[in-house]
Amino acid sequence: MNIVLTGPPGAGKGTQAEMIAASYKILHISTGDMFREAVEKGTDMGRKAGEFMKAGQLVPDDVTIGIVAERLAQPDCEQGFLLDGFPRTIKQAEALDDILTGLSQTLHAVINIAVPDEVLIERMTGRLTCSGCKTIYHRTFQPPQVEGVCDKCGSSLQQRGDDTAVDTAKNRLAVYKKQTNPLLEYYKQKNLLVNVNGQRSKDEVFAEIRQNLEAIQ
Ligand code: AP5
Ligand code: MG
Ligand code: ZN
């Protein structure tokens, strides 16, 4: 099964992606995670992408499309994949159609997690991520058992660079509305769009996603 997970920043894409990938045994491909890894490693691409991320802007389409095309061509994607945070522009969506045609693959669903703006800012600014296994927590909504320590692997928890300032979080939201929101209409036209209410517990959101995926399989 090949799925796109979309929605505004802080909607819970990464949180749900972990659960979907584990449950359906498909690959979780997050362009945000790929860029953050490149930033940590200090590669040329990471330095370039990092500037855009710090400002809450999108990394240019040519760079993003290039890394996704390369990743989807790997043999492990044949078992099915879940794209988290890609596509984010109409140009990226059209490029994805071409990439998949070239690989004789298709998309089976585009899941949109909808959450109101005021909740999103609170989710982003309170988020903590494990420095080791990348599990996502929240200071209030999803706290670890021991403060600052990952329940799963014991590594330290850290705050993402683009989550520290409310202004950057607001900017990411504005960028989403302008550049990514039009994708909902694009995928609605293709009969692939599934809207999910993301303003509930993560288990309730997952149950709704699962229900929709069962109908597709
Ligand atoms: P990316 O990493 O994709 O960030 P994003 O889209 O802004 O989304 P987030 O990761 O912030 O939120 P999420 O929906 O995954 O929510 P999460 O599960 O963590 O992109 C970062 C940057 O990289 C971009 O700004 C851009 O610069 C660049 N980039 C990436 N892809 C790109 C592309 N295709 N093109 C161009 N540039 C690109 O949850 C958030 C918080 O809420 C957590 O603390 C979590 O614990 C909590 N939470 C989750 N679910 C619930 C729930 N149900 N109830 C209560 N709390 C919850
Ligand atoms: Mg994410
Ligand atoms: Zn961990």
Active-site choice (71, 88, 123, 134): 88
Mutate to test the pocket of ligand 1, among 84, 94, 130, 136 (most ligand atoms within 8 A of CB): 136
Query: Could you read off the pLDDT of 66-114 as tens digits, one per residue?
Result: 999 999 999 999 999 999 999 999 999 999 999 999 999 999 999 999 9
Confidence band of 173 (pLDDT split at 50, 70, 90): very high
Confidence band of 216 (pLDDT split at 50, 70, 90): confident
Structure tokens given for 87: 């596509």
DSSP 130-188: ETTT--EEETTTB--SSTTB-TTT-PBEE--TTTS-HHHHHHHHHHIIIIITHHHHHHH
Q: Tell me what the pLDDT averaged over the chain comes to.
A: 96
Which protein residue's CA is at the shortest distance from atom 21 of ligand 1? Answer: 32
Cβ–ligand 1 contact at 53 (below 6 Å): yes
Q: Report the DSSP pairing between strands 81-84 and 2-6.
A: parallel
Q: Is residue 156 part of a domain?
A: no
Please confirm, yes or no, whether 172 is among the known catalytic residues.
yes
Which residue did the predictor score with more confidence, 165 or 5? Answer: 5
Q: What is the CATH number of the domain that holds 19?
A: 3.40.50.300
- 114 has which bridge partners? 197
- Summarize the confidence of residues 4-27 as an average pLDDT: 97
29 pLDDT exceeds 80? yes
| Structural domain range at position 206 | 2-26+79-116+173-216
Q: Is residue 168 part of a domain?
A: no
Domains in the chain, number: 1
Query: DSSP label at 49?
Result: H
Taking the CA of 136 as reference, the closest ligand is: 1
